Amino acid sequence: MIIVTGGSGFIGSALIWRLNQLGHKDIIVVDKFGKNDKWKNLVNLEYADVFDKDDFGHMVQGDFLKKFEIDTIFHLGAYSSTTKRNFDKLLKNNYEYSKFLCEKALENNIRFIYASSAATYGDGANGYEDDESKLHTLKPLNGYGYSKHMFDLWARKSRILDKIVGLKYFNIYGPNEYHKKDMRSVVNKCFHQIKETGKARLFSSSNPEFADGGQSRDFLYVKDAVNMTLYFWDNKIVSGIYNIGTGEANSFNQLIKPIFKTLEVKENIEYFDMPEILKEKYQYYTKADISKIRSAGYIDKITNITEAVEDYAGNYLNTSDPYLK
């Protein structure tokens, strides 16, 4: 039996989709649904049961984990807004709940694989190398990144990184992110802009080192992200913190070009000033160092950005049923 927290969310539901493809259906979904439509991510999937995140916490206090012979917990659930300033909520969900679940997993000899974030790297001044000995040098730019960083630091201080796996996801995009509203990927937002208006809107650059739309990220397709995640499920002797990215940096201009091609629309990009609240916390460049996961044995090819965006735009966004199935 496998538990996926955040199982109706973006990466969580994609992980369940891939597990289903591999023939696994003994999956417990844990999440906090609220008033959004992320429940729709589950409609095409197969799983054993679903529980509210808070109710699940109480269940874990008892003998639930032993009773159901849980093999692995993929802890992907989190409060993920990078702009909201409610740090109490970030602390409770991303740090305290994660500690609680991790400790329970270790007590019951359960594989614990959790989502950290590339947001822990801040502006990248100290690089993007997933070296656990350098965790203390990182300076996240927002509360979300810091809450994830706090758990990474706690795990290192507790000397349990040789027993668990932390995954620093970079910029993930793809099907099943529709419920994320303002936190949706640029691919998702620009697809709808282009389809409705014939043009895409991107932030202009306030940094002279980057042209408008030239701000660059390590953009990773969600299908590759879940394949990389499942590598650690298949290889239980591998532990520690790992970057989950492509190892390449692409500009936003490069990212959205395949959308115009898919929709057969002439390229037309409008640049606009980013909100003041983002300017001091904005990452102009990220690129995952993925040498560690490669050294650990992950050899699968990662989908290039053009193929990935064309798959997302053409086979999901431009269809009547855009969900993974």
The domain that holds 26 is classified in CATH as: 3.40.50.720
Residue 84 lies in a domain: yes
- What was the pLDDT predicted at 84? 65
pLDDT at 64: 93
> Residue 196, SS3?
helix
The pLDDT score that the predictor gives to residue 282 is 85
Q: Is residue 150 part of a domain?
A: yes
181 domain-assigned? no
Distance CA 269, CA 198 (A): 9
Number of domains in the chain: 1
| Gap between the Cα atoms of 270 and 276, Å rounded | 19
- C-alpha distances (whole Å) from 174 to each of 37, 153, 278, 313, 314 are 16, 30, 23, 9, 11
Residue 100 belongs to domain spanning: 2-173+219-245+286-302
pTM for the model: 0.96
Per-residue pLDDT tens over the stretch 109-122: 999 999 999 999 99
- 157 Cβ partners below 8 Å, 6+ apart? none
Residue 214 lies in a domain: no
Asked whether residue 317 is assigned to any structural domain, the reply reads no
- pLDDT tens digit string along 174-200? 999 999 998 999 999 999 999 999 999
Q: With CA atoms as reference, report the closest residue to 168 among 113, 214, 223, 216.
A: 113
Residue 280: inside a domain? no
- b/e string for 185-217 if b means 16 or more Cβ within 10 A? bbbbebbebbeeeeebebbebeeeebebbbbbb
φ/ψ (deg, to 5) at 72? -145, 140
Domain-embedded: residue 130: yes
Radius of gyration of the chain (CA): 19
Q: Which residues are catalytic?
A: 144, 180
Is residue 270 in a domain?
Answer: no
145 is written with which tokens? 């990144």
Q: Where are the beta strands (DSSP E) in 90-215?
A: 111-115, 165-169, 171-173, 200-203
pLDDT-flagged residues of the chain (< 70): 82-84
Query: What pLDDT shows up at residue 8?
Result: 98
